[in-house]
Amino acid sequence: MSSARVAAIGSRVKWPAPFVAALAIFAAAAPASLAETPKTGGTLTYMIPADAPPSLDGHRETTYATVHSAAPFYSTLIRVDPNNPSSNNFVCDLCTAMPQPTDDGKTYTFKIREGVKFHDGSPLTAADVAASWNAIIHPPEGVTSARESYYTMVDTVAAPDPTTVVFRLKFATGAFLPALADPYAWIYKKEILDKDPHWYE
């Protein structure tokens, strides 16, 4: 938008002169900033208007300060389709394909992608996925799970082999997949959870 166009709009609408001047400056400067070459690398500083979060455990916390700042560092089993977030379409994050339920809708078997690694370089397996989901659904004594109540339909979560996770439900329900797509149901490392279930806090 040209500064002349901004001025014309300002004269018709009767905006205060300082506002029109500021808008004209912004309009003149915008094309230059849009033409800049994108930069890669560097440091992103992320600020939130909140006190320090109580912990950084996505299974325990619900605060904006925790979940929005830490979520980019973790994967989930499935997620809402990012290309159509208002739909009930779900896509894989760590699985290879969305499963068809069996056992009259009470069993979901997920195959886990191979080649996924944690930040320390160790491979992610189905055991890590099952351990993380068990920590959410059936937390050990003394461990808080903010979303445990979302999964009352789940009976067991097991990893029969390194690439398979099986959810067995108490009853069939259409609420299961939407609950499973919770963006804060992060997958943690089983070895760490086994040693210290509070480590991620």
Higher confidence at residue 129 or residue 200? Answer: 129
What pLDDT is stored for residue 87 in this prediction?
A: 80
Question: Model confidence at 15, in pLDDT bands (50, 70, 90)?
Answer: low
**Pair (138, 87) in one structural domain:** yes
Domain assignment present for residue 59? The answer is no
Kindly tell me if the per-residue pLDDT of 201 is higher than 50. Answer: yes
Domain assignment present for residue 45? The answer is no
**Pair (113, 30) in one structural domain:** no
- Amino acid letter, 54: P
**Pair (79, 19) in one structural domain:** no
Show the domain range for 106: 71-195
Domain assignment present for residue 42? The answer is no
What pLDDT is stored for residue 88 in this prediction?
A: 84
Question: Model confidence at 7, in pLDDT bands (50, 70, 90)?
Answer: very low
Question: Model confidence at 4, in pLDDT bands (50, 70, 90)?
Answer: very low
What pLDDT is stored for residue 61 in this prediction?
A: 86
Domain assignment present for residue 57? The answer is no
Domain assignment present for residue 133? The answer is yes
**Pair (21, 90) in one structural domain:** no
3-state secondary structure the chain: CCHHHHHHHHHHHCCCHHHHHHHHHHHHHHHHHHCCCCCCCCCCCCCCCCCCCCCCCCCCCCCHHHHHHHHHHCCCCEEECCCCCCCCCEEECCECCCCCCECCCCEEEEEECCCCECCCCCECCHHHHHHHHHHHHCCCCCCCCCCHHHHCCEEEEEEEECCEEEEEECCCCCCHHHHHCCCCCCCCCHHHHHHCCCCCC
Q: How far is CA 135 from CA 77, 85, 169, 197, in A?
A: 14, 27, 16, 8
- Look at the chain and report how many structural domains it folds into: 2
**Pair (30, 83) in one structural domain:** no
Among 58-67, 151-160, 172-181, where is mean pLDDT lowest?
A: 58-67
Higher confidence at residue 116 or residue 56? Answer: 116
Domain assignment present for residue 47? The answer is no
Among 36-40, 101-105, 134-138, 164-168, where is mean pLDDT lowest?
A: 36-40
Phi and psi based region of residue 79 (left: phi greater than 0; alpha: psi -120 to 50; beta: remaining): beta
Say if CB 175 and CB 140 are below 8 A apart: no
**Pair (95, 161) in one structural domain:** yes
- CATH value at residue 80: 3.90.76.10
Kindly tell me if the per-residue pLDDT of 151 is higher than 50. Answer: yes
Kindly tell me if the per-residue pLDDT of 12 is higher than 80. Answer: no
Domain assignment present for residue 61? The answer is no
Domain assignment present for residue 52? The answer is no
The residues facing 6 across adjacent strands are none
What pLDDT is stored for residue 72 in this prediction?
A: 86
Question: Model confidence at 139, in pLDDT bands (50, 70, 90)?
Answer: very high
**Pair (81, 139) in one structural domain:** yes
Closest CA to 175 of 156, 158, 157, 150: 150
